[in-house]
C-alpha cells in the first residue's frame, strides 16, 4: 500500500486505515481523486457534475472529525453519486434535459446517511437518462466510455458510477438497479456491484423510474469495500414505507473466506445459445474454483426465465409512464412556454425527454390503457409471481445461485443503439432478480481475449446478502483471477 504516490489506488478498507493512522489526510486523498478526475474525464465522461469545492469542504470537515476521534465508518472516503439521488444544493439531472438545472433542497436518505458517516462526494455520476438503458449512451450529457477500452460502453444505467471506480476517480460509488443497472456495468468495468434485497435500503430521495423494481446499491473495488458501504446504506426509514425495519447485520463479519458446505445452484437456463464463449468459460472456471474450496455445485431450474424480459419491459415501462407524468413544465424542471396548457406539456416533454425515455413512456401508457391492462400489465405481474416462485423453489436445493452477469463483455459504442431489443437483451441474466426482489452481486471472474472484464453474478434468497458477501469474498481471496488495472 503506497499512500503517498497514488492514493487513488487504495481500497476503502485500506484508505480508512491510513486515514485513522494519520498516514494520509482526507484533503490529500480528495485532491488526488480530483486530479485523477481532471486527467481522465475528457476521455471518460464519468461525471455530469464534479463537486470540487464541496468535496474539499467535506474533506476538511472529515479531517477535523478524524483528529477528534469522532470519524464515522466512511469518514474522508471519496465517493461518486449517481446523478439520480437528491443532493442538497447540488444539481440533480437524471442525465435529462428536463432536469438540467434542478437543484434539490434536501438529501436522499442514503445521502444523509453517508454525510453522517463523513463520506466525501466528489461528484454526480453519469447515467442513462432516468436510468433507462444498458449502456449509458442515453445520457443527455454524452456517453460514458469504458475505462478498459474507450471505444466500448461502460454498461448501464449506472455506467458513470462503475467507470469512476474502475478508473480510480473515487474509491466507491452509488448506483441504482432496476433491471441490472448496477450489476451489468460492474461486470463491464471490472468492479464489484451489489443490488440488495428490495426494501433493504431506503429509496427516499431517489428519483423514480419503476418503483416496484428500483433498488439502491454500491460499487466498489472489492467485496469487502462493498460490504462496508452496504452497512452504512441499509436499514429502515420512516420516509420510505417500502423500506424494511429488519436489523442490519455487520456484513464484514460474514467475510470469513470459508465456503465449505455452501450449496451453489447453477441454472441451465442461464447458459444460453449465443452467449460469448469466453464468458461461459470464465463462469464455469469460477464454479470449479468454488468446488475446489469445498462448496457443492448443484443443478437447479428457473423455468420461467425466458419470459422475464417481456414481463420486465411491461411492468417497468408502465410504472415509468406513471412516475414521469410529474414532469409537466409547471412545478419544477424545464418549462417551454406555450399558448395553452396542452401545448406547454407537449413542447416541454418533447424538448426535455430523450428518445429512449419517450419510447418507454409510450410503451407503458399503452400497456395501462383501457382494454390492454389485463392483456399486458396484469399478465406480466402474474409472470413475475411465477419467476419469484422459481427462485423460491430453487433455494430449497441451494444457498446461492451463480450465473453470468451478462451474456457478453462490454460491446462497442453505437453497436446496439439502433436495435432497442438487442440492447434490452443485454440484461437477460439480471432482470429476473429484480422481478423477484432478490439480492444479487456482480464481481470480476476473468477477462476476454480483448482484455475486457467478465462478471460472475451471485444471487441469494431475500435478505441473503451475508451469504453473497461471504461467497464473493472467498472467491476474491482465492486469487483465481488476477485483477488488471483499467487502461485509462
Give Rg (Cα) of the chain.
21
Q: Is 449 one of the catalytic residues?
A: no
CB atoms within 10 A of CB 420: 17
In Å, how far are 25, 34, 59 from 31, measured between CA atoms?
10, 5, 9
CB atoms within 10 A of CB 29: 25
> In terms of Cα–Cα distance, which of 210, 225, 156, 111 is closest to 437?
210
SS3 174: strand
**How open is the CA angle 14-185-180, to the nearest 5 degrees?**
115
Hunting for cell 434485497 — which residue is that?
197
**How open is the CA angle 213-161-36, to the nearest 5 degrees?**
175
Element (H or E) spanning 123, and its range?
A: strand 120-125
Grid coordinates belonging to 208: 423514480
Q: In a 10 Å sphere around its CB, with 0-12 CB exposed, 13-18 middle and 19+ buried, how is residue 337 labelled? A: exposed
Grid coordinates belonging to 12: 476503502
SS3 216: strand
Residue 33 · residue 122 · CB < 8 Å? yes
Element (H or E) spanning 297, and its range?
A: strand 296-300
Q: Which of 46, 82, 244, 432 is the catalytic position?
A: 82
> In terms of residues, how long is the chain?
488
Residue 134 · residue 11 · CB < 8 Å? no
Q: Is 173 one of the catalytic residues?
A: no
Q: Which of 139, 157, 199, 244 is the catalytic position?
A: 157
Grid coordinates belonging to 277: 464463449
DSSP string for 70-97: ---TTTT-EEEEETTB-BTTB---TT-G
List the beta bridge partners of residue 266: 299
For residue 32, give every residue at least 6 positions away whose Cβ sits within 8 Å of its Cβ, in sequence order, or none. 6, 7, 8
Q: Which of 46, 181, 202, 432 is the catalytic position?
A: 181
DSSP string for 441-475: EEEEEEE-TTS-EEEEEEE-STT-HHHHHHHHHHH
Residue 83 · residue 94 · CB < 8 Å? yes
Q: Is 212 one of the catalytic residues?
A: no
Q: For the stretch 71-110, what's the b/e string if a residue is b when 16 or more beta carbons lie within 10 angstroms of its beta carbon?
A: bbbbbbbbbbbbbbbbbeebbbbbbbbbbbebebeebbbb
CB atoms within 10 A of CB 116: 12
Give CA–CA dist 115/90, Å, rounded. Answer: 14
Residues carrying an active site annotation: 82, 157, 181
Amino acid at each position: 500500500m503506497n499512500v503517498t504516490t497514488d492514493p487513488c489506488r487504495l481500497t476503502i478498507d485500506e484508505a480508512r486505515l491510513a486515514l485513522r493512522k494519520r498516514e494520509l489526510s482526507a484533503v490529500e486523498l480528495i485532491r488526488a481523486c480530483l486530479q485523477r478526475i481532471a486527467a481522465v474525464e475528457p476521455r471518460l465522461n464519468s461525471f455530469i457534475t464534479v463537486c470540487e469545492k464541496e468535496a474539499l469542504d467535506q474533506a476538511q470537515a472529515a479531517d477535523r472529525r478524524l483528529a477528534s476521534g469522532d470519524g464515522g465508518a466512511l469518514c474522508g472516503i471519496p465517493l461518486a453519486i449517481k446523478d439520480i439521488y437528491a443532493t442538497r444544493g447540488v444539481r440533480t439531472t437524471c442525465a435529462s434535459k428536463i432536469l438540467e438545472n434542478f437543484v434539490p433542497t434536501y438529501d436522499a436518505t442514503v445521502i444523509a446517511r453517508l454525510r453522517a458517516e463523513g463520506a466525501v462526494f466528489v461528484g454526480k455520476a453519469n447515467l442513462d437518462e432516468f436510468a433507462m438503458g444498458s449502456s449509458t449512451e442515453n445520457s443527455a450529457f454524452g456517453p460514458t466510455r469504458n475505462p478498459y477500452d474507450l471505444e466500448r460502453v461502460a454498461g448501464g444505467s449506472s455506467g458513470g458510477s462503475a467507470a469512476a471506480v474502475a478508473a480510480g476517480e473515487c474509491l466507491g460509488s452509488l448506483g441504482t438497479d432496476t433491471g441490472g443497472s448496477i450489476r451489468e456495468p460492474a461486470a463491464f468495468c471490472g468492479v464489484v456491484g451489489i443490488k440488495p434485497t428490495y426494501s433493504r435500503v431506503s429509496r427516499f430521495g431517489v428519483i423514480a423510474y419503476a418503483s416496484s423494481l428500483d433498488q439502491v446499491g454500491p460499487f466498489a473495488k472489492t467485496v469487502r469495500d462493498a460490504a462496508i458501504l452496504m452497512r452504512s446504506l441499509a436499514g429502515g426509514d420512516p420516509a420510505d414505507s417500502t423500506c424494511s425495519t429488519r436489523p442490519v447485520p455487520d456484513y464484514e463479519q460474514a467475510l470469513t473466506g470459508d465456503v465449505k458446505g455452501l450449496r451453489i445452484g447453477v441454472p441451465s437456463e442461464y447458459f444460453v445459445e449465443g452467449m460469448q464463449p469466453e464468458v461461459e468459460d470464465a463462469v464455469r472456471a469460477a464454479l470449479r474454483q468454488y468446488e475446489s474450496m469445498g462448496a457443492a455445485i448443484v443443478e437447479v431450474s428457473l423455468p420461467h426465465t425466458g419470459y422475464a424480459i417481456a414481463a420486465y419491459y411491461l411492468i417497468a415501462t408502465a410504472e415509468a409512464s406513471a412516475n414521469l407524468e410529474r414532469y409537466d413544465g409547471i412545478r419544477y424542471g424545464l418549462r417551454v412556454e406555450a399558448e395553452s396548457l396542452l401545448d406547454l406539456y407537449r413542447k416541454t416533454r418533447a424538448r426535455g425527454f430523450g428518445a429512449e425515455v419517450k419510447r418507454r413512456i409510450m410503451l407503458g401508457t399503452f400497456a395501462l390503457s383501457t382494454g390492454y391492462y389485463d392483456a399486458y400489465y396484469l399478465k406480466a405481474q402474474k409472470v413475475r409471481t411465477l419467476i419469484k416462485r422459481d427462485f423460491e423453489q430453487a433455494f430449497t436445493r441451494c444457498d446461492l445461485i451463480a450465473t453470468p452477469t451478462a451474456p457478453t463483455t462490454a460491446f462497442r459504442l453505437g453497436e446496439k443503439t439502433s436495435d432497442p431489443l438487442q440492447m434490452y437483451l443485454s440484461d437477460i441474466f439480471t432482470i429476473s432478480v429484480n422481478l423477484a426482489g432478490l439480492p444479487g452481486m456482480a464481481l470480476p471472474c476473468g477477462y476476454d481475449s480483448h482484455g475486457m472484464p467478465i462478471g460472475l453474478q451471485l444471487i441469494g434468497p431475500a435478505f441473503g446478502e451475508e451469504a453473497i458477501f461471504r461467497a464473493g469474498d472467498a472467491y476474491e481471496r482465492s486469487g483465481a483471477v488476477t485483477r488488471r488495472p483499467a487502461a485509462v
